[in-house]
Amino acid sequence: MDKTIEEKYIKAGEIAKKAKDLAKKELKSGISVLEFVEKIESFIKKEAGLAFPVNISINDFSAHCTPDINDTAIFKEGDLVKVDLGVQVDGYIADTAFSIKLGEKNNVLIKAAEDALKEFIDNISPGKTIEEMSKLVEQVVASYGVKTVKNLAGHSLQQYVQHGGLSIPNTYVKNKYQFKEGDVIAMEIFTTNGEGFVVESSPTNIYMFLKQGALRLDESKKILNRIMQEYKTLPFAKRWLKDLATPVKLNMALKEMVERGVLRDYPPLRERSKGLVAQVEETIIIKDKPIITTI
């Protein structure tokens, strides 16, 4: 990896760590989810760029959850909260997540996820395979008497691409891919006391640009221009576009762009049996001595 690129990954990671520390300090029961997210996003934007909207997934929701415009939800005592945030420097991404169960210090789902991620970090190096690393994750989580989420995975990172070509599942798979020096991965572990599968839910508040296409609505064209200038091929939140159209016209424009293949939508993911889900994640540059950019 070019040294300049590596430095940008490291810088993004340093900012992400500060944002994560701020989030841990600010996260409390009784506060607005929307205000919390906007505070963390504002902090990141003062230092670098947002790689994606801050995700707040609570209890059996596992991913792709971010507040809507004028969202009124508040954090409640007993909520199992996942905070997933991303920073980008010239498109080079740091992706990190943590979980807290409000009002509870020792949660087995969080502990299982944290220990599995630690074992992954301690054992990853060039030449290791996805097969052996996914097996390690599953074994550590199983030792706590809980399950991994089988249809979620860690992933590689590329410039302006949050989900690169590699997928590193939370459960054992027969994949002989050998990690190479310079691979950059966001390894995330999801644990649950449910069935271990997630399904799509609603409402959708996160989208990502896929390709240019013919658009009919003026609002769609205006929104696409904003996306191309500011977000490029990184995910963005519907609420980031609230200044461009009324809520009704904004929803119509997003629907048109999804239907025409211009945007991809990211519906919230929910554990199928309504089991609780915990998540942890760090960004790793693969080397003989890996660089964990977000720790």
Residue keyed to tokens 């839910």: 201
Burial of 264 (0-12, 13-18, 19+ CB in 10 A): middle
66 neighbors 106 (Cβ within 8 angstroms): no
8 CB neighbour count, 10 Å cutoff:
20
Q: Is 122 a catalytic residue?
A: no
Question: What is d(CA 217, CA 23) in angstroms, rounded to the nearest whole number?
Answer: 38
Q: Is 41 a catalytic residue?
A: no
Q: Is 119 a catalytic residue?
A: no
Q: Is 14 a catalytic residue?
A: no
Which of the following is catalytic: 114, 188, 271, 282? 188
Which of the following is catalytic: 60, 84, 183, 271? 84
Which of the following is catalytic: 68, 115, 119, 163? 163
Which of the following is catalytic: 41, 60, 79, 95? 95
Q: Is 84 a catalytic residue?
A: yes
Q: Is 68 a catalytic residue?
A: no
Question: What is d(CA 33, CA 48) in angstroms, rounded to the nearest whole number?
Answer: 22
Which of the following is catalytic: 138, 155, 183, 271? 155
SS3 label, residue 6: helix
Q: Which residues contact 27 (CB under 8 A, 6 or more apart)?
A: 36, 75, 81, 83, 100, 102
Q: Which residues are catalytic?
A: 84, 95, 155, 163, 188, 281
